[in-house]
Amino acid sequence: MTCVVAVIGASGSGKTRLVKTLVSSSARFTVLRVDDYYRELDHLDFASRDRVNFDHPDAIEFERLAVDLTALRAGKAIAAPIYDFSRHTRASATRTVNSADIIVLEGVLAMADLATRALVDYLVFVNSSLDICLARRIARDAAERGRSEASVIDFWESRAVPMFEQFVAPWREEADLVVSGERNSASEAAAINTWLATLPRSRGTPEN
């Protein structure tokens, strides 16, 4: 039976790097990225899109995410959306995601929706200091999205941190496993693999 492992943490905590390392270690993993399910915003001009709070659960199309995750759990392949962060809207192309023994649901807001988290069997929280997360966001957004340091800091203080504290941080105490996003990703991925080997294949996530 397929199981779903959610991997969450603050923006810049090291989730994506850790998941890439984990998935590269075995063919039994597939990844579904929550960020690709940001809502289609083609009806808004770019300035309006830029004002959307992408760190709030309302920005995610959880309805489609839950349908796709259900299909993956049933062993079916899906056509997942691809989000274009440079344009703040979805790309026209989709990405084929095949089912696997373990589906990794990766994203800051992976546990923010009741219907989606009902499909999650286990939760991994990637823990990093917020100072390190901010430094990573500044470097990433400058390189990949052309944003200034000042704009990233403003976004961080006004949106990212308050939303993290409200929708993400409380799950650290509920997580089945907490790993470090500050240590070597290979060693942390190995720890996850070791932990997964001790678990039953499926376990429903308690409601919160």
Provide the pLDDT for residue 208: 40
Task: Give residue 200's pLDDT band: very low, low, confident or very high (50, 70, 90).
Answer: confident
Q: What is the largest CA-CA distance in the chain?
A: 50
Q: Does residue 89 surpass a pLDDT of 80?
A: no
Provide the pLDDT for residue 202: 64
Q: Could you tell me the pTM of the whole model? A: 0.90
The number of residues making up the chain comes to: 208
Render pLDDT for 38-66 as a digit per residue (tens, 0 to 9): 998 878 777 777 777 889 999 999 999 99
Report DSSP state, residue 1: -
CATH 3.40.50.300 fits 3-196, yes or no: yes
Give the 3-state DSSP-derived string for 156-197, with helices as H, strands as E and coil as C: HHHHHHHHHHHHCHHHHCCCCEEEECCCCHHHHHHHHHHHHC
Helix (H, G, I), strand (E, B) or coil at 58: helix
Mean pLDDT: which of 48-57, 71-80, 143-152, 196-205 is highest?
Answer: 71-80
Burial group, residue 45, by CB count within 10 angstroms (0-12, 13-18, 19+): exposed
